[in-house]
């Protein structure tokens, strides 16, 4: 990489040490500052930049203005300027010509970057590949490097392969109430370096997701509706059937045809009789039900006949022994689904794994 | 005057704490690329035996495209390659965890000249000596494992595992239960168990470790059923942790009519201490190249030993060697799954393993296990003193440990593979782990009985040195190797059928055409 862009969200992570469990929104940021929090994103970005410069002095680093990167490159102490999502998006627009865009922040920042990439796509512009420097309170997305130093070293390498990595975020308001609620927002293009990205997407051999989808397709029976939840794995099931199923919505397929795409809970209730629900875990917390797929409600599940859970072995390994989780909002449904489930991990391959209610 | 000052007076410097090393780095082509038409190494004399006319059905239409080289060039080619290797005879090879790298006594190689004179189809009357070795080794391995009968016919590793799954299938089919199509294994068992069973057509169910690092018995309870053909499991697993509930696992599988199959890849720490039969296993195998000292042979002719309980004897791969009262004879069990290797199997390694066991005796075998366990726990103590290294699950280990550099990696951005490559600059290496990496940033060390305390101290000091380098200058460690063969490998093509080329012909087709 010869030209690397840098966008720092200076307030990312400021709410963490202040016990605010996140930093989204100006009120939380002001509250954190009032509690005496000091910004940490700048320091973490500076560590990534130092590592990058040490490894590749020839790389040109182009930064967003002022506290969003420029000050840091000039060696100034990080400040806690209150920036907004719009500032992050504008910075990504301005740096769209770099070979790789480094951004320092958390899942909220990753969402802003994703929004900017989508805006660029709408304008017909190709956005650069990106890489997150982990600096936020919540870092559940797959587009972050394992550490600031790892981000710097990755940016120093030349890449010719890229992969799509999940952008997930939690609802901070629920998170403050003690509920972890990750939701998949989309994917960002990142350097395809194995073992070096955060958790979930690391080290997944190519073809694993396709093999899982093939197993699901092989199990499909005529006359049975299949409810495909959100996510890249379930979307691959649709692809293998030649159907334009959605990445983020819930779709219904039957007899090889797309019956309904991106359905609401009410629509789904009508279509779910004797259906098989096909789900993959969302985000690093291992949620299978109740996060990002609330359309599949307890009353919908009550009508279905089976549930297939999909995950690569790598994704299960990244849970570090934690169980898969269900939280449909109805205790009876949750406890019915709890216990050891067979998770499809490949073609004619599965792992027995614990699923628990929250 | 201290020693450093005294050296300062001299035109030499004191030796560094870590041994210096520099490996050869030849830009050596593949032997096929060295070939020149018409060049030859040796003129084979006309054989005295009558010429055998081959039937057209087995005769090649064209000559094989073998490389054509002089003797000198063949010798030089392989010597260069050997200089670019590390191995148990050259370095402290404790880093090849799960592989049980131990000394293969050279005295046992002296028998090989005689073995080379044997013909695979030689009449048994003139091969009684080697058949006695087979017969005795079969019974010694039966004694060591507690199994009723052993066949030495398979190759080792995956060939023996494939023999196991073939026997499992034959047994169920003979009992009218061919519908059993599921094989259960664990995440930390050798993955060849899953791979061989899948190749044989079975559906694979894998059990993840529980919070204690042991396979989850509740998961096994959820997995077993009328479709269960077998449990194929390693114990201790590749973590070095012995599963104390292994008999319960076996019983649970038996309760639904399945067979319990023991991959004894990690038997080096339990020789003479516990046996497969004691836990109720129905069948299993030893890798003679691991526990019983024969060369590993790099995917080549290693030898395996499949042992079975009484009810599976009819299905053993054959031939096996029996004594009929006056001599040794070859017999093929009644419902045998057939041959795995041609001829009698890998005879040179059968002889080496026999000689190794005979030189030690029963007490010696137990001492092997105890020494291997002691060495492992000593090395673990040394490794865990290195800041940034850890061994998850805080459990006693048997003969190996799967460690983690997670803390060091998070701090420095340097990954376990990169630390391993830098260690090669000091003449050692390590293997990380099978995939997926359940233990983050893994490395697996298995010091067998062959290594001295000084060896283990030196190995631990090298890892401590590299870990320190990673903290001080991560980019330098990531730039390694500097003194070793070029072996920074992009593993991505290994997953890409368009790029991998296991033969020269495939390489020419995929990369040169």
Same domain, A168 and A282: no
Instruction: Give the DSSP per-residue string, A177-201.
Output: TT---EEEEEEEEEE--TTTB-GGG
Q: What is the pLDDT along chain B (513 residues), one digit of tens a residue?
A: 555 566 667 777 777 889 899 999 898 999 999 999 999 887 776 777 667 778 888 888 898 889 999 999 999 999 999 999 888 899 999 999 999 999 999 999 998 888 888 888 889 999 999 999 999 999 999 999 999 999 999 988 899 999 999 999 999 999 999 999 999 999 999 999 999 999 999 999 999 998 889 999 999 999 999 999 999 999 999 999 999 999 999 999 999 999 999 999 999 999 999 999 999 999 999 999 999 999 886 555 788 999 999 999 999 999 999 999 999 999 999 999 999 888 888 999 999 999 999 999 999 999 999 999 999 999 999 999 999 999 999 889 999 999 999 999 988 889 998 999 999 999 999 999 988 889 999 999 999 999 999 999 999 999 999 999 999 998 899 889 999 986 677 666 777 788 888 888 898 899 888
Size of interface A-B (CB pairs under 8 A): 108
Report the distance separating Cα A214 and Cα A348, nearest Å.
9
Report the distance separating Cα A210 and Cα A201, nearest Å.
15
Indicate whether A274 belongs to any domain: yes
A349 contacts on B by Cβ (under 8 Å): 194, 198, 203-206
Interface of A with B in 158-197 (CB under 8 A): 161, 192, 194-196
Helices (H), ranges, chain A: 26-34, 41-55, 70-73, 85-94, 107-122, 148-156, 172-176, 208-219, 232-240, 265-271, 298-303, 313-318, 331-337
Same domain, A151 and A278: no
Helices (H), ranges, B320-400: 347-383
Cross-sheet strand order for the sheet of A60-63:
A60-63, A3-8, A100-105, A130-134
Polymer length of chain A? 358
Report the distance separating Cα B240 and Cα B234, nearest Å.
10
Can you tell me the ipTM of this complex? 0.87
Torsion of CA B164, B166, B169, B172, to 10 degrees: -60
B-chain residue closest to A319, CA distance: B438
Entry pTM: 0.80
B475 contacts on A by Cβ (under 8 Å): 51, 54-55, 153, 156
pLDDT at A74: 87
Same domain, A332 and A191: no
pLDDT-based confidence at residue A202 (cuts at 50, 70, 90): very low
Beta carbons of A189 and A164 less than 8 angstroms apart: yes
pLDDT at A301: 95
- For residue B470, the cross-strand partners are none
Q: Do A353 and B208 touch (CB under 8 A)?
A: yes
Report the distance separating Cα B321 and Cα B129, nearest Å.
12
pLDDT at A199: 38
B216 contacts on A by Cβ (under 8 Å): 340, 352, 354
Beta carbons of A203 and B437 less than 8 angstroms apart: yes
**DSSP assigned state of B318:** S
Q: Do A345 and B206 touch (CB under 8 A)?
A: yes
Number of structural domains (chain A) is 2
Reference B102, options B418, B423, B415, B452; nearest CA is: B452
A351 contacts on B by Cβ (under 8 Å): 187, 205-208
Same domain, A153 and A42: yes
Same domain, A173 and A220: no
Each residue's pLDDT tens digit, A98-157: 999 999 998 889 999 999 999 999 999 889 999 999 887 667 788 888 778 878 888 988
CB-nearest to A352 from B223, B417, B438 is B223
User: Phi/psi of residue B232, each to 5°?
Assistant: -120, 115
- What distance in Å separates residue B278's CA from the closest CA in chain A? 27
A162 contacts on B by Cβ (under 8 Å): none
Report the distance separating Cα A252 and Cα B183, nearest Å.
32
Whether the per-residue pLDDT at A55 is higher than 90: the answer is no
Same domain, A149 and A67: yes
- Which range is most confident: A8-22, A63-77, A232-246, B257-271? B257-271
User: Phi/psi of residue A78, each to 5°?
Assistant: -65, 140
B111-359 placed in CATH 3.40.50.300: no
Q: Which residue has the higher pLDDT, B36 or A81?
A: B36
Environment class of residue B452 by beta-carbon count within 10 Å: exposed (0-12), middle (13-18) or buried (19+)? exposed
Same domain, A270 and A182: no
A-chain residue closest to B205, CA distance: A350
pLDDT-based confidence at residue A36 (cuts at 50, 70, 90): low
- What distance in Å separates residue A205's CA from the closest CA in chain B? 7
Q: Do B474 and A51 touch (CB under 8 A)?
A: yes
Indicate whether A203 belongs to any domain: no
Q: Do A317 and B438 touch (CB under 8 A)?
A: yes
Same domain, A269 and A297: yes
Same domain, A337 and A231: yes
- What distance in Å separates residue A342's CA from the closest CA in chain B? 8
Whether the per-residue pLDDT at A69 is higher than 70: the answer is yes
pLDDT at A180: 55
Same domain, A217 and A242: yes
Segments forming the whole domain that contains residue A135: 3-198
- What distance in Å separates residue B208's CA from the closest CA in chain A? 7
pLDDT at A306: 95
Indicate whether A10 belongs to any domain: yes
pLDDT-based confidence at residue A200 (cuts at 50, 70, 90): very low
Q: Encoding tokens for residue A165?
A: 């990595």
Question: What average pLDDT does this structure show over A154-169?
Answer: 83
Same domain, A182 and A299: no
- What distance in Å separates residue B226's CA from the closest CA in chain A? 16
B443 contacts on A by Cβ (under 8 Å): none
Strand pairing report for B283-287 and B304-308:
antiparallel
Same domain, A163 and A214: no
Instruction: Give the DSSP per-residue string, A196-221.
Output: TB-GGGTT--TTHHHHHHHHHHHH--
Interface of A with B in 239-298 (CB under 8 A): none
Last residue of a domain, one of A171, A198, A225: A198
Report the distance separating Cα B192 and Cα B196, nearest Å.
6
Q: Do B474 and A196 touch (CB under 8 A)?
A: no
Torsion of CA B370, B371, B372, B373, to 10 degrees: 50
Q: Do B435 and A203 touch (CB under 8 A)?
A: yes
Whether the per-residue pLDDT at A203 is higher than 50: the answer is no
pLDDT at A44: 85
Whether the per-residue pLDDT at A38 is higher than 80: the answer is no
Q: Do A194 and B491 touch (CB under 8 A)?
A: yes
State whether residue B210 sits within 8 Å of chain A by CB: yes
B-chain residue closest to A150, CA distance: B413
Instruction: Give the DSSP per-residue string, B58-97.
Output: GS-SS--------HHHHHHHHHHHHHT---TTTS--TTST
Indicate whether A84 belongs to any domain: yes
Last residue of a domain, one of A131, A164, A198: A198
């Amino acid at each position: 990489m010869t030209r690397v862009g840098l966008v720092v969200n200076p307030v990312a992570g400021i709410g963490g040490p202040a016990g605010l469990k996140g930093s989204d929104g100006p009120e939380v940021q002001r509250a954190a500052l009032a509690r005496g929090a000091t910004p940490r994103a700048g320091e973490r970005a500076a560590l990534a930049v130092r590592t990058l410069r040490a490894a590749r002095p020839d790389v040109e680093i182009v930064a967003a203005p002022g506290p969003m990167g420029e000050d840091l490159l000039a060696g100034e102490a990080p400040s806690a300027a209150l920036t907004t999502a719009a500032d992050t998006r504008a910075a990504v627009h301005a740096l769209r010509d770099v070979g790789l865009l480094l951004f320092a922040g958390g899942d909220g920042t990753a969402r802003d970057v994703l929004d900017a990439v989508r805006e660029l796509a709408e304008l017909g512009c190709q956005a650069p590949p990106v890489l997150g420097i982990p600096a936020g309170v919540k870092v559940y997305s797959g587009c972050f490097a394992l550490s600031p130093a790892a981000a710097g070293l990755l940016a120093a390498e030349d890449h010719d392969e890229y992969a799509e990595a999940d952008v997930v975020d939690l609802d901070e308001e629920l998170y403050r109430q003690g509920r972890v609620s990750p939701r998949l927002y989309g994917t960002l293009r990142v350097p395809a370096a194995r073992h070096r990205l955060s958790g979930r997407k690391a080290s997944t051999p190519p073809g694993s997701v396709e093999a899982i989808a093939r197993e699901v397709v092989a199990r499909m029976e005529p006359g049975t509706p299949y409810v495909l939840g959100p996510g890249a794995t379930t979307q691959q099931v649709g692809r293998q059937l030649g159907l334009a199923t959605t990445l983020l919505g819930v779709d219904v397929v039957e007899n090889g045809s797309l019956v309904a795409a991106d359905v609401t809970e009410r629509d789904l209730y009508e279509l779910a009789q004797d259906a098989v629900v096909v789900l993959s875990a969302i985000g690093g917390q291992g949620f299978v039900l109740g996060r990002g797929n609330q359309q599949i409600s307890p009353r919908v599940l009550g009508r279905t006949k089976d549930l297939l859970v999909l995950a690569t072995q790598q994704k299960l390994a990244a849970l570090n022994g934690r169980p898969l989780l269900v939280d449909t909002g109805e205790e009876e449904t949750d406890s019915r689904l709890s216990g050891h489930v067979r998770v499809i991990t490949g073609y004619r391959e599965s792992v027995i794994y614990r699923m628990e209610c929250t | 005057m201290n020693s450093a000052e005294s050296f300062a007076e001299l035109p030499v410097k004191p030796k560094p704490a870590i041994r210096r090393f520099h490996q050869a780095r030849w830009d050596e082509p593949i032997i096929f690329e060295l070939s020149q038409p018409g060049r030859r190494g040796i003129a084979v004399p006309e054989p005295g035996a009558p010429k055998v006319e081959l039937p057209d059905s087995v005769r090649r239409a064209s000559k094989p495209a073998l490389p054509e080289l002089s003797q000198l060039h063949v010798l030089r080619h392989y010597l260069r390659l050997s200089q670019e290797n590390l191995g148990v005879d050259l370095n402290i090879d404790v880093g090849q965890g799960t592989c049980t790298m131990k000394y293969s006594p050279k005295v046992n190689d002296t028998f090989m000249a005689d073995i080379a004179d044997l013909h695979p189809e030689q009449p048994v009357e003139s091969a009684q000596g080697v058949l006695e070795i087979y017969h005795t080794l079969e019974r010694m391995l039966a004694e060591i494992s507690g199994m009723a009968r052993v066949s030495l016919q398979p190759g080792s590793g995956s060939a023996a595992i494939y023999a196991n799954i073939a026997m499992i299938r034959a047994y169920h089919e003979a009992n009218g239960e061919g519908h059993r199509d599921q094989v259960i294994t664990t995440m930390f068992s050798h993955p060849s168990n899953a791979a061989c069973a899948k190749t044989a057509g079975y559906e694979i169910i894998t059990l993840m470790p529980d919070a204690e690092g042991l396979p989850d018995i509740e998961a096994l309870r959820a997995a077993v059923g009328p479709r269960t053909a077998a449990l194929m499991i390693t114990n201790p697993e590749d973590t070095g942790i012995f599963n104390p509930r292994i008999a319960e696992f076996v019983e649970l599988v038996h309760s639904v009519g399945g067979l319990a199959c023991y991959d004894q890849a990690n038997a080096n720490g339990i020789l003479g201490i516990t046996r497969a039969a004691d836990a109720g296993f129905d069948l299993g195998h030893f890798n003679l190249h691991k526990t019983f000292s024969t060369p590993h042979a790099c995917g080549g002719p290693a030898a395996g030993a499949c042992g079975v309980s009484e009810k599976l004897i009819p299905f053993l791969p054959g031939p096996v060697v029996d004594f009929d009262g006056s001599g040794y004879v070859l017999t093929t069990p009644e419902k045998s799954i057939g041959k795995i290797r041609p001829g009698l199997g890998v005879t040179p390694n059968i002889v080496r393993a026999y000689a190794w066991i005979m030189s030690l005796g029963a007490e010696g075998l137990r001492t092997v296990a105890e020494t291997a366990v002691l060495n492992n726990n000593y090395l673990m103590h040394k490794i865990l003193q290195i800041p940034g290294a850890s061994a998850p699950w805080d459990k006693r280990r048997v003969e190996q440990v799967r460690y983690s550099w997670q803390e060091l990696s998070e701090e420095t951005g340097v990954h376990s593979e990169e630390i391993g490559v830098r260690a090669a600059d000091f003449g050692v290496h390590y293997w990380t782990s099978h995939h997926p990496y359940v233990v983050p940033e893994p490395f697996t060390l298995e010091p067998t009985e062959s290594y001295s305390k000084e060896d283990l101290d030196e190995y631990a000091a090298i890892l401590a040195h590299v870990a320190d380098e990673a903290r001080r200058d991560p980019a330098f460690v990531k730039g390694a190797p500097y003194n070793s063969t070029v072996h920074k490998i992009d593993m991505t093509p290994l997953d890409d059928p368009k790029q991998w080329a296991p033969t020269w012909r495939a390489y020419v087709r995929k990369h040169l055409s």
